Structure 1
Amino acid sequence: MSTSRPRLKVGVIGAGAMGAAHARTLATAAPGAEVTRVFDMDTDRAAAVAAEVGGEAAPSPEALVADVDAFVVASPDFTHADLAIAGIEAGKHVLCEKPLAVTADDARRVVDAEVAAGRRLVQVGFNRRFDPGFLSLKGSVVDGTLGTVKLLHGIHRNASNLTSTDSSTLVTGSMIHEFDTFRWLLDDEIVAVRVESPILEGFKDPQVATLWMASGPMITAEVYVNAAYGYDVRVEVVGDAGSATLEPRTPVVRRLGGQGGSSIGSDFVEHFVESYRLELGSWVDASLRGEVVGASAWDGYVANLVAAAGVTALESGTREPVDVPQRPGLYR
């Protein structure tokens, strides 16, 4: 009798940098997965990625959804909500890259579709929840060694960025990572936000957000998507008994010619390669069990709500409330 474990037939929608990286990770580092279909509007690119991972290019997203057990959404942001809903309607597990949608209303459509279906099928790709460094930082919060958390400071810088190209999309496409991370780290809701920038005209990059949490902590979050020098993510949690800091990975410090330092990468995929591997592997295993792990569609929706308030705050220059409705029973 065969004892081989079942394998999940996975499709990937979007064969750009993120989609291609996910397809390779699934093919090489997720034993429970088999990448069988890849779709991209650029058919040559889809064919190249599919051939690399032993799959085939799909003629359309609809054909891909019909042919697989589960799929990854790594296409442009404006396609995310409809593709996630297509997965729900087909009864297929979906890993949807962040953001879940461009607007909170569209993200709510995904939540409503899951509630109507009576089961959770969508995981949102907030990969930091799987990153060993962030998990260790959360452990320092949960175990009580820091005491009561009072402050949290976050830095998120890219060398350059092609997706967050205006002031609003910097909030909805980049800073949205921080909104989910802080909710998850503190297991708390964001109740108000203010977003400011030293740039007065044109693309307001960098931006600094101040966030207020329901249980009292205050947070500052700097996002700078064209910082030039590299990809840099840092977080410090400050409690009344101590602090814990997640620093960039610097395993080797070189001292040469009177100077010392370590290299800083520019590629966010390389920076978080381990978290993506763990995220995708966990998603595959959970999908085979019929479960959802990581950030839920509800988490994606709340992050979109905070982002919408953040865009309003950036335009108004004032502190804006974040009104989170009652969480449906499906997500409790």
Structure 2
Amino acid sequence: MKQVVQNYKSGELALLDVPVPGCKPGGVLVRTAYSLISTGTELMKVSEAGMSMVGKARSRPDQVAKVMQSVATNGVGPTYRKVMGKLDSYTPLGYSLCGIVEQVGAGIDDVKVGDLVACAGNEHALHAELNWVPKNLYAPVPDGLAPQHAAFGTVGSIAMQGVRQGEPQLGEVALVIGLGLIGQLVAQLLTASGVRVVGVDPDPARCELAEGLGAAACGDPASAAVEAAVAELTGGHGVDQVYLAAGGASNQPVELAAKLSRDRGRVVDIGKCRLDLPWNAYYEKELDVRFSRSYGPGRYDPSYEMEGRDYPIGYVRWTERRNLACFLDLLARDRVDVEPLVSHIADFDDAVETYRSLKDGELKAVAVLFRYPEQAAESGESEPATVTVPAVRRSGGAPLPARSAKAPVRLAFVGAGNYATSMLLPHLAGRDGVELSTVVTTTSLSAANAQRKFGFAQATTDLDAVLGDKSIDAVFVVTRHSSHAELTGRALLAGKAVFVEKPLALTEDDLSGVLAAVEESGNDRLQVGFNRRFAPLLQEAGKRFGARTGPASLRYLVNAGRLQHGSWYLQQGTEGSRFAGEGGHFIDTASWLLGADPISVYAVAASGNDDLQVVLRYPDGSTATISYVTTGPSSFPKETLDLVADGKVLRLDDFVRASVYSEGTAGRKRWVSSRLPKARDKGQEAELAAFIKAVRTGGPMPVPLESLVATTAATLAVQAGLHGGAPVTLESAR
């Protein structure tokens, strides 16, 4: 990948090819869409790098003091080599960006791949195509906020923290000295807080810009107009707060602050300006001088920034991450406007030339954005994304040995969690012709509990022993999502019929691995727990609906609801997204009702949550739209489905009631099921009965393997579509 770097010794700027950062636990890997150049902080660093060694020393006396301490401790030679080695190294630039989550590290559950996030930090939000960003240094971008505007998040947080330090109140008057990028944002935030703002800057264009964005009056620091505006707005008392957002070596801002402040006013230093406080002026007014430390509480604290340890909100209301999220919210609600601040947008490939133009004064700007390759090509033609549906090959391997139809079907369960013990095992325990042979879990007690409750003959933690037991006919894989593909492949290779809960696989490679096991072993005895097509109510409704001749339109609303805090479903880095884990149910149901496998997938996600809209297209022109939402009320039914075709409508209300409407030559017809007296039957019992029958008789599996593979590939294509922002073609392997 490419990254902007600078050699502090020589002043050289370069767009360097560097390795892609790894996605460590506790953070996310973000592909940058836009990054913002801080025309104050960054240009100061660029300018310093171009100085002589004496000039560098004069500009950074704090670093000179450290060098002298090192000389006293380690001697001249070692210190010289250490300093020269550090100076003659590439250092990064940048600290404010917006991008798309490309990979989610372990322990992250508040964003998912494809989400848009704003990122902060001079070590993590760099001018680079990819950045690893720890949890407390990113925030999800609200729905509808443009990425180029969200890229202002960090500088907005700096301005916001400065405003918070000033503690503004409704009706007060504030003076903002320096109307660069930070000063412009400070002025807007104060105006949004009900404070009247007077701005000071020697650049008339910046003064005009600030007035256009809400400042009451702006002018040159040497002009009488500023003093007159302050006197008029404050009745001659002086401003309540002064915000120093200027840089440079002049002491004028500090002196002006004292002159125009009221008695016991507040002076907040946000920028890096000279602070030789005129003692008499500050003493006589008893001015309260405050400093604003970057983005807010948490800055420079490794336990907060790197380890993700948040501060309790009851003790620290506004941390740097909360400031970041708050500023994004203000942008999304049009309380702050950054579009007028954008002076120039440069392609990332032109980064070095852009810095040179800024440094030399050819490009005069308040804010400059880098636009990264994918954004630059957004309006052009792009290659359509594809997900390959692997071909099912059954060559090789020996057929499964014949079994006696009179012998009980002996089952082993790998995993005995909530779903297995509530939705599967109750239908199998005590069933005629079924013997629960062995339960395998990773913890001894859970295996023992399942053995006691459901009557397994054995309980163990040894999976190899179970797979090697020739008396076991079928293995149920009911573990966490990330292990499904591997365990399924091992059981197939061991010659077992396999029932695996959804999802079959979380990646294309995992899916290919399962099919490689089928080909190697010749064993295709596989069923995935897509139970809804077996639901009696849906089966009956399908029969009432009858055959169709034209394309159909299907709408499936899934009110999935929120997950409880701590649920392992939230471990997206290892267990996949919620839709990856559950979405196969709904795709399989749609495909079964439409009688075909999808050929393309288009997915759109809401920002900040797991809500999805998935549109599936089928060979005959039929479409299925799955609305998977997590933000609906729990009082609303979980699943409602409508199928429309040929003048007919099938309606399913949460597996409690179904109806079919039709019109024809005989007039209007309507069939409505009776309300079920028992709990919802989503087909688990019928599905298990079909699987057991197939194992006992050696007949076909309840769902063809090709259909299971197509549904899994379509589920994977949803994630690919979210990342690419375009329809994904499902391409069959030849």
TM category (shorter chain) comes to 0.7 to 0.9
Letter in 1 for 2:455: G
1:260 aligned residue? none
Measure the CA separation in 2 of the matches of 1:57 and 1:307: 34
* Cα distance, 1:108–1:297 mapped onto 2, change above 3 Å: farther
1:74 aligned residue? 478
Q: Which moved more, 1:292-301 or 1:312-321?
A: 292-301
Whether 2:645 is the aligned partner of 1:243: answer no
SS for the counterpart of 2:552 is: strand
2:421 aligned residue? 20
Question: C-alpha offsets along residues 43-98 of structure 1, whole Å, 9 cap, x if unaligned?
Answer: 21111011111112122222222332211110111211122122222211111111
Letter in 1 for 2:554: L
SS for the counterpart of 1:295 is: coil
1:313 aligned residue? 721
Letter in 2 for 1:191: I
2:596 aligned residue? 188
Question: C-alpha offsets along residues 118-148 of structure 1, whole Å, 9 cap, x if unaligned?
Answer: 342111111112111222343355x32x552
Whether 2:499 is the aligned partner of 1:95: answer yes
SS for the counterpart of 1:91 is: coil
2:619 aligned residue? 214
1:152 aligned residue? 554
SS for the counterpart of 1:310 is: helix
* Cα distance, 1:324–1:228 mapped onto 2, change above 3 Å: farther
Measure the CA separation in 2 of the matches of 1:219 and 1:185: 10
Letter in 2 for 1:241: G
SS for the counterpart of 2:498 is: strand
1:234 aligned residue? 640
Letter in 1 for 2:626: A
Measure the CA separation in 1 of the matches of 2:459 and 2:653: 40
* Cα distance, 1:249–1:301 mapped onto 2, change above 3 Å: closer
Give the Å deviation of 1:228: 4.7
1:49 aligned residue? 450
Measure the CA separation in 2 of the matches of 1:163 and 1:299: 28
Q: Is the 8 A contact 1:237 1:245 kept in 2?
A: yes
Measure the CA separation in 2 of the matches of 1:72 and 1:99: 13
Query: How many pairs are equivalent?
Result: 300
Q: Is the 8 A contact 1:197 1:206 kept in 2?
A: yes
Give the Å deviation of 1:321: 1.5
1:304 aligned residue? 712
2:516 aligned residue? 112
Measure the CA separation in 2 of the matches of 1:250 and 1:150: 23
2:532 aligned residue? 128
* Cα distance, 1:109–1:296 mapped onto 2, change above 3 Å: farther
Measure the CA separation in 1 of the matches of 2:602 and 2:544: 27
Measure the CA separation in 1 of the matches of 2:648 and 2:448: 52
Q: Is the 8 A contact 2:411 2:434 kept in 1?
A: yes
Whether 2:605 is the aligned partner of 1:197: answer yes
Q: Gaps (5+ residues) in structure 2?
A: 1-404, 658-674
Measure the CA separation in 2 of the matches of 1:289 and 1:5: 10
Measure the CA separation in 2 of the matches of 1:323 and 1:66: 37
| Higher RCO structure, 1 or 2 (CA under 8 Å, sep 6+) | 1
* Cα distance, 1:14–1:190 mapped onto 2, change above 3 Å: same
Whether 2:437 is the aligned partner of 1:36: answer yes
Q: Which moved more, 1:207-216 or 1:180-189?
A: 180-189
Question: C-alpha offsets along residues 137-192 of structure 1, whole Å, 9 cap, x if unaligned?
Answer: 43355x32x55232000122234444543596123112221222222221222122
* Cα distance, 1:35–1:285 mapped onto 2, change above 3 Å: same
1:325 aligned residue? 733
Measure the CA separation in 2 of the matches of 1:291 and 1:226: 43
Q: Is the 8 A contact 2:493 2:523 kept in 1?
A: no
* Cα distance, 1:20–1:207 mapped onto 2, change above 3 Å: same
2:181 aligned residue? none
Larger-Rg structure: 2
Give the Å deviation of 1:194: 1.4
Give the Å deviation of 1:249: 4.2
* Cα distance, 1:292–1:197 mapped onto 2, change above 3 Å: same
Letter in 1 for 2:702: G
Measure the CA separation in 1 of the matches of 2:486 and 2:550: 41
2:695 aligned residue? 287
Q: Is the 8 A contact 2:558 2:629 kept in 1?
A: yes
Q: Gaps (5+ residues) in structure 1?
A: 252-262, 264-269, 327-332
Q: TM-score, normalised by structure 1?
A: 0.82
Q: Is the 8 A contact 1:127 1:276 kept in 2?
A: yes
Letter in 2 for 1:314: L
Find 2:461's aligned residue among 40, 54, 59.
Answer: 59
User: RMSD of the alignment, in Å?
Assistant: 2.6
Q: Is the 8 A contact 1:108 1:301 kept in 2?
A: no
